[in-house]
Amino acid sequence: MSAKPRGSYGIDAPYVPILSAVGAVALVVAAILSSGTSQILYLIGALLLFAQAVIYLRTTLIGKFACWRRVLTELQLDGDESLLDVGCGRGMVLMIAAPLLPTGRLVGVDIWSSHDQSGNSVAAAESNAAANSVADRVRFETADMTDMPFEDESFDVVTASVSIHNIKDPAMRARAIAEIYRVTRPGGRIRIVDLAHADEYRENLASLGAVEPAVAGLGLDGMWGNPFYASKLVSASKPEAAS
């Protein structure tokens, strides 16, 4: 089965592959205009930037879908759970999760930044839900992940896909993690995939009392152009309520 649901999901941070490709072309021009060792160095640089653009596009168009299909399948959902995706963009995680939750409830929150994902909007997310025939079970809300409009302990599963790192202030990232933890029900599960700050999220979750917060690599499917920007999976659960 293809990892990609129906619909259109844009390109994450589209300026990154564009800058890499422009840099590669500039280095090829510099190589043409030079000779000897500099020419070879320019060509090597161009090759690296071109490879970076290709690996980045593979991850945003294919790899991250495969990562999330694995992560969500491994949750072994019963099918009736509620799932919140934080910084959902055009709804990739929700569209992969929806067939696993035929009687469940799915909610996405976002501020719809088109700097972070091309063509990002609530209309684009809703159109993807319609394309996958799940519009009746998936709801999108406009909200900042640091202050979410949900009751405490209202979701069985809370996910975030390359969204939290967009918050630059560590204190505000910690607040986003605290919000994710707050809305997770006792016994519920948290799965965060991000290309930066995974250890920070794990520590934040540990200090909130999460059970066994852990970080794992995701291989080539999670690599945003080069090994320095490789997504990691942060997993944790909220303790069961005391009986």
**Closest distance between ligand SAM and the C-beta of residue 160, in Å?**
7
Instruction: Scan residues 90-109 and list those touching ligand SAM (CB under 6 A).
Output: 92, 109
* Part in contact with ligand SAM (CB under 6 A); list of ranges 36-44, 163-171, 198-206, 214-222: 163-171
User: 110: helix, coil or strand?
Assistant: strand
State how beta strands 184-194 and 105-110 pair: unpaired
Query: Which candidate, 145, 181, 155, 160, places its Cα nearest to that of 232?
Result: 160
Spatial distance between the Cα atoms of 49 and 52, rounded to a whole number of angstroms: 5
Site string for ligand SAM, 34-73 (x = CB under 6 A): ------------------------------x---------
Q: Which of 89, 188, 213, 225 binds ligand SAM (CB under 6 A)?
A: 89
Q: Which of 24, 71, 72, 88 binds ligand SAM (CB under 6 A)?
A: 88
Q: Which of 161, 184, 204, 235 binds ligand SAM (CB under 6 A)?
A: 161
Query: Which candidate, 61, 107, 73, 63, places its Cα nearest to that of 87?
Result: 107
Which run of H or of E encompasses 106?
strand 105-110
Q: Is 117 in the site for ligand SAM (CB under 6 A)?
A: yes
Closer CB to ligand SAM, 6 or 33, in the complex:
6
Q: How many residues bind ligand SAM (CB under 6 A)?
A: 24
Q: Is 145 in the site for ligand SAM (CB under 6 A)?
A: yes
Closer CB to ligand SAM, 27 or 195, in the complex:
195
Q: Is the CA virtual torsion 52, 54, 58, 61 positive or negative?
A: positive
Q: Is the CA virtual torsion 70, 108, 202, 77 positive or negative?
A: negative
- Ramachandran sector of residue 106 (left: φ over 0; alpha: ψ -120 to 50; beta: rest): beta
Q: Which positions touch ligand SAM (CB under 6 A)? A: 9, 12-13, 64, 87-89, 92, 109-113, 116-117, 120, 144-146, 161-163, 166-167
